[in-house]
Structure 1
């Protein structure tokens, strides 16, 4: 008897995004039950959504720029593109590392190791932070990306359930994972900021608009 391959989820990308943001507890139940593969989740969900912030930042910094003290600071398209690529690659790597953290910690708290379940948690819990990246389209509103912290709540509601962590250890497991995730996201942001600073202007010049490239 040949083994059956997991069937792809019938939930559309937009429905998954909407449901995980609006009704996360119910959606985690559906996610938990559906067959999937690490590669499938990564290609169909992580790859397109993780691109939102970098693309928005590319447009925002090269077209609109940041208005400050009468000056508009813009990156050239090449500089903005380099920053976007670095941010995108860092985000993709970040998801894999987060899944690794979830999978590694689970047995220490009575849970079960599962590459697929860990990737589900890592990918779908990042939804809020990726969607919030759209605010980078207008640099003056980029601070609204803080709404992406909702991803920590998604992680809180999904990690113990999908990784089969017992109820009495669920809170501790999630807190440890969240702390690790915060450190991870900080490092990802640091990498992106470092690349941006390589192309940022060192000193404002008179005239009102400054393009760097």
Structure 2
């Protein structure tokens, strides 16, 4: 099954990384994983924005129209897929510096499985209260970083010392990538008229 590594990444991450490294299914398998898991924040975000409404503080929940929510949801899904591919490319690109020679499939597996907790945290959008979603998101990011640090030495076949520096570089690149995606979102909203329509 495509999602069979998810439980292992939470229950016994190092063993699961070793299993992923031993099996190396195919690029289709890694791509299918990220395409399925990326549906979680997209669908939950759509439902929260269009049907439940976001509670930012005091006052009524903020809702947007179904059309705006659908556009944002599709855009979020596309950005997630593009972001994971870009992270996989950066992982492969930085590999030579650390004497690693991964294939793009290995790099995609590392990026996809390390990003899984952050994407699964999208379930928190079903309780769309800002502080709650922020706390869940921070915990998910912390666990994704842990997965990255534990997975890099195993997936890249390098010593733990090099793996720590390599993983730190990937985390930095990932944060830059995230800020870039957020900046592009802000530019699209303000300059190209993709501002969502709010409703009561």
Q: Same fold (TM over 0.5)?
A: yes
Q: Which residue of 1 aligns with 2:23?
A: 34
1:99-178 matched pairs, under 5 angstroms:
99-140=88-129, 141-143=132-134, 144-149=136-141, 150-178=143-171
* Contact 1:112 1:165 (C-alpha < 8 Å) held by counterparts: no
Whether the 8 Å CA contact 1:129–1:145 is kept in 2: the answer is yes
Give the deviation of 1:188 after TM superposition.
3.0
**Length-normalised TM-score, structure 1:** 0.82
- The equivalent of 2:13 in structure 1 is 24
State the number of aligned residues. Answer: 192
Query: How much does 1:189 deviate?
Result: 3.9
- Any unmatched runs of 5+ in structure 1? 1-10, 202-209
Are the aligned partners of 2:2 and 2:29 in contact in 1 as well (CA < 8 Å)? no
Shift of 1:191: 4.1
- Bigger drift between 82-91 and 157-166 goes to 157-166
**Inter-partner Cα distance in structure 2 for 1:106 and 1:130:** 25
Cα 1:35–1:174 shift into 2, 3 Å = closer
Q: Tell whether the 8 Å contact from 2:24 to 2:106 is kept in structure 1 after alignment.
A: no
Determine whether 1:199 maps to 2:166: no
TM (normalized to structure 2)?
0.87
Q: What is the SS of the residue equivalent to 2:157?
A: coil
Q: Secondary structure at the match of 1:71?
A: coil
Larger of the two Rg values belongs to structure: 1
